[in-house]
């Protein structure tokens, strides 16, 4: 049987979850005898050349299109479509899902899929109008969580073609987590997140300062990329709060799994999410996890069982949750074990890929 050709189009920024998910799906499909994948990145000024070289070295089927303007992106993607001849074009994330589907329509790709990766994007009335127009010409609209699906429905997406397929992560880097006993880990906190308006590092810094007042000097690591205009005020805030010596800003690192597996606590302090990949990785690493109680995060964590949920933007609540874990290591270890089990059984890349592969095959008329 002919393999179904699937083109994944996404931003080439690498800092967001959309690119990570698209890459995970492409890599999973490379091992499939049913799907032939292609990853097409919309190149940005800050797209790291070293990362592109690494993908090519790893054998990822990859093409680039210009990203300086959608007027350049669309015709370049049309050319790629006419060369690759995909059966399905998957356009990931805002605003790439607009340009990707326009190109797919021009190139007459048989089936279009829009994947939304967040519960809050910078939609204008004009962009919403375009999204609704394109939705009438799109086979399926996918939210990366049920919370995202609900947002899509509120935007006017057709209910009969709008579904949720939860994000998943590659569990392989976390196989050594069970060999890192909770009690022997650093009693400190890691938050892996890019520095942006979406992420709420400031609330976490204030919570660490409150813990210091309560006699807990907690080390904090904040690995992640992002713009200096978002990171610099946080470094200043840490100094103003008197916790600069406790906080590390290592930037983009290549050892996130190891950092997580060596620490007891993982936090995701955020204003909004789609499906929080960084939190899923903390769970897979066997950390006790805390997340802001926003859509997406609320779907992942069951408060008091496999993690703790705290009110968004509330440093007092976050400090109390951290204190609860750090002063009660047995309870924290129990939650960490439950979190790891949930990650292994509910949030794997394989489960995510099964959902997408079944969708691709159904659209192409090749149901299992």
Q: How many residues does the chain have?
A: 368
Q: Are residues 40 and 138 in the same domain?
A: yes
Q: Are residues 292 and 359 in the same domain?
A: no
94 within a domain of the structure (yes/no): yes
pLDDT in single tens digits along all 368 residues of the chain: 789 999 999 998 777 789 999 999 999 999 899 999 999 999 988 888 888 999 999 999 999 999 999 999 999 999 999 999 999 999 999 999 999 999 999 999 999 999 999 999 989 999 999 999 999 999 999 999 999 999 999 999 999 999 999 999 999 999 999 999 999 999 999 999 999 999 999 999 999 999 999 999 999 999 998 888 999 999 999 999 999 999 999 999 999 999 999 999 999 999 999 999 999 999 999 999 999 999 999 999 999 999 999 999 999 999 999 999 999 999 999 999 999 999 999 999 999 999 999 999 999 997 65
34 within a domain of the structure (yes/no): yes
Q: Are residues 67 and 109 in the same domain?
A: yes
Q: Are residues 64 and 44 in the same domain?
A: yes
Q: Are residues 139 and 183 in the same domain?
A: no
Q: Are residues 159 and 241 in the same domain?
A: no
Q: Are residues 51 and 83 in the same domain?
A: yes
Q: Are residues 356 and 321 in the same domain?
A: no
pLDDT per residue as tens digits for the range 37-92:
999 999 988 888 888 999 999 999 999 999 999 999 999 999 999 999 999 999 99
147 within a domain of the structure (yes/no): yes
Contact 261, 178 (CB under 8 A): no
264 within a domain of the structure (yes/no): yes
pLDDT per residue as tens digits for the range 270-287:
999 999 999 999 999 999
Q: Are residues 150 and 77 in the same domain?
A: yes
Q: Are residues 101 and 121 in the same domain?
A: yes
- What does the block give as tokens for 256? 């996130």
Q: Are residues 183 and 151 in the same domain?
A: no
Residue 164 belongs to domain with CATH number: 3.40.50.2000
Collect all residues with Cβ–Cβ distance below 8 Å to 125 and sequence separation of at least 6: none
368 within a domain of the structure (yes/no): no
> Count of domains in the chain?
2
Show the 3-state SS of the chain: CCCEEEEEEEECCCCCHHHHHHHHHHHHHHCCCCEEEEEEEEECCCCCHHHHHHHHHCCCCEEEEECCCHHHHHHHHHHHHHHHCCCEEEEECCCHHHHHHHHHHHCCCCEEEEEECCCCCCCCHHHHHHHHHHHCCCCEEEECCHHHHHHHHHCCCCHHHEEECCCCECCHHHCCHHHCCHHHCEEEEECCCCECCCECHHHHHHHHHHHHHCCCCCCEECCCCECHHHHHHHHHHHHHCCCHHHEECCCCCCCHHHHHHCEEEEEECECCCCCCHHHHHHHHCCCEEEEECCCCHHHHCCECCCEEEECCCCHHHHHHHHHHHHHCHHHHHHHHHHHHHHHHHHCEHHHHHHHHHHHHHHHCCCCC
Domain around 96: 4-168+348-363
Q: Are residues 160 and 306 in the same domain?
A: no
44 within a domain of the structure (yes/no): yes
pLDDT of residue 67: 94
43 within a domain of the structure (yes/no): yes
């Amino acid at each position: 049987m002919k393999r179904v050709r699937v083109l994944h189009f996404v931003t080439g920024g690498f800092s967001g979850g959309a690119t990570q998910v698209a890459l995970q799906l492409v890599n999973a499909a490379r091992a499939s005898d049913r799907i032939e994948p292609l990853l097409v990145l919309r190149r940005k000024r800050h797209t790291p050349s070293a990362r592109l070289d690494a993908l090519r070295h790893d054998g990822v089927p990859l093409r680039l299109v210009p990203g300086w303007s959608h007027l350049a992106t669309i015709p370049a993607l049309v050319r790629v479509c006419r060369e690759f001849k995909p059966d399905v074009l998957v356009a990931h994330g805002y605003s790439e899902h607009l340009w990707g589907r326009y190109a797919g329509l021009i190139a007459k790709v048989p089936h279009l899929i829009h994947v939304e990766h967040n519960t809050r994007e910078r939609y204008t009335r004009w962009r919403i109008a375009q999204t609704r127009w394109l939705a009438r010409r799109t086979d399926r609209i996918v939210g990366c969580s049920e919370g995202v699906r609900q947002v899509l429905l509120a935007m006017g997406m057709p209910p009969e073609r709008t579904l949720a397929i939860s994000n998943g992560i590659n569990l392989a880097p976390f196989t050594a987590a069970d060999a890192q006993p909770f009690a022997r880990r650093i009693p400190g906190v890691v938050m892996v997140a890019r520095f942006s308006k979406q992420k709420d590092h400031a609330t976490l810094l204030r919570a660490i300062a409150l813990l210091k007042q309560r006699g807990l000097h907690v080390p904090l690591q904040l690995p992640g990329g992002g713009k200096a205009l978002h990171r610099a005020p946080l470094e200043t805030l840490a100094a103003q709060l008197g916790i600069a010596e406790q906080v590390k800003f290592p930037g983009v690192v290549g050892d996130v799994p190891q950092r997580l597996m060596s620490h007891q606590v993982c936090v995701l302090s955020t204003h909004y999410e789609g499906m929080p990949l960084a939190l899923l990785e903390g769970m897979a690493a066997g950390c006790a996890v805390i997340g802001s109680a926003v859509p997406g995060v609320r779907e992942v964590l069951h408060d008091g069982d496999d993690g703790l949920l705290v009110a968004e933007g509330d440093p007092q609540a976050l400090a109390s949750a951290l204190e609860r874990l750090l002063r009660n290591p047995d309870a924290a270890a129990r939650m960490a074990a439950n979190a790891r089990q949930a990650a292994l059984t509910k949030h794997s890349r394989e489960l995510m890929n099964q959902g997408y592969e079944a969708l691709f095959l159904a659209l192409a008329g090749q149901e299992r």
